[in-house]
Amino acid sequence: MNQRLKRTGRIAQTLLTVYYAYMVEYRAELILWMLSGSLPLILMGVWIQASQSGQFGLSSIDFIRYFLAVFLVRQFTVVWVIWEFEREVVEGKLSFRLLQPLDPGWHHFMSHFAERFARLPFAILLVILFFMLYPQAVWIPSLSQVLLFLLAVTLAFILRFVTQYAFAMLAFWIERANSLESFFFLFYLFLSGIIAPLEVFPPIVRQIVLWTPFPYMINFPASLLIGLPENVVQGLLIMLGWIALFWALNRWLWQKGLRRYSGMGA
């Protein structure tokens, strides 16, 4: 058992180091990718104006902090595995991965995980710039808020990854599996909290949405960071449930899909 843990640790460290070095080579592109996720900061201005004339239960300061938190969560939960896996299957490049004594999914997971560290310095700089523009929105989260946020954003990344990776398995049957991700993204965009915090949703709609995976990818960790009321235990359990469900779906589709894979695409 000890030897197995040490071997697993060495493999994880090697993959993380290699993919981090790979991601750092594309620093300029990382900045552009980060800026492409600035939709929450654009919507922030809209909701600040709306909060001054409407009754939403959140002040303009709350909206500023919320959309900054959403921007941060998106930086650490962005996933593109479906496009990579689809290309590997369609072009037959998955064959090289299958020759290795390691599930190909770990390559994708570690490349995503390493990319979070490559983004971190730029994210910190953007937060500093943001607070220079909105000094009235500066706040210092408590230690418990920070720890819960780190846990929630980690689970949000895993949930987003296993969800998209499960859809990626359909590349064994169709050449454009990413079209399903595009459809899924519509629900993700409107129900995750990117467009608006769930606090402004009608109560009945909010109760229904809270049982779906979408709010736990963005709204839940963002709310924990800024101190909005959340049922932490229920939220974490729902996240773990959806992660387990999509992981099981992924493994089932993987076993079925491998039987169709010919080495020259599905």
Higher per-residue pLDDT: 13 or 23: 13
pLDDT digits (tens, 9 = 90+) for 26-82: 665 666 666 666 667 777 777 777 666 666 667 788 888 898 899 889 988 989 999
> How many percent of the chain have pLDDT more than 90?
35
| Residue 266 confidence (pLDDT) | 47
Q: Please give the residue that has the higher pLDDT: either 53 or 92.
A: 92
Rounded mean pLDDT of the chain?
Answer: 84
Confidence grade of residue 130 (pLDDT, cut at 50, 70, 90): confident
Q: What is the mean pLDDT of residues 188-201?
A: 88
CA distance 83 to 68: 28
Q: Note the pLDDT of residue 263.
A: 61
Residue pair 129/212 in contact by the 8 Å Cβ criterion: no
Higher model confidence: residue 131 or residue 40?
131
Q: What's the pLDDT score for residue 204?
A: 93
Please, which pLDDT band fits residue 20 given cuts at 50, 70 and 90? low
The yes-or-no verdict on residue 265 having pLDDT over 60 is no
- Strongest mean pLDDT among 9-18, 42-51, 105-114: 105-114
d(CA 176, CA 159) in angstroms, rounded, equals: 22
- Which pLDDT band, with edges at 50, 70 and 90, does 163 fall under? very high
Q: How many whole angstroms separate alpha carbon 136 and alpha carbon 57? A: 19
Report pLDDT digits (tens) over 221-243: 999 999 888 899 999 999 999 99
pLDDT of residue 137: 83
Q: How confident is the model at residue 134 (pLDDT cuts 50, 70, 90)?
A: confident
**Distance between CA atoms of 196 and 56, rounded to whole angstroms?**
11
pLDDT at 28: 57
Token look-up 């859809």 returns 167
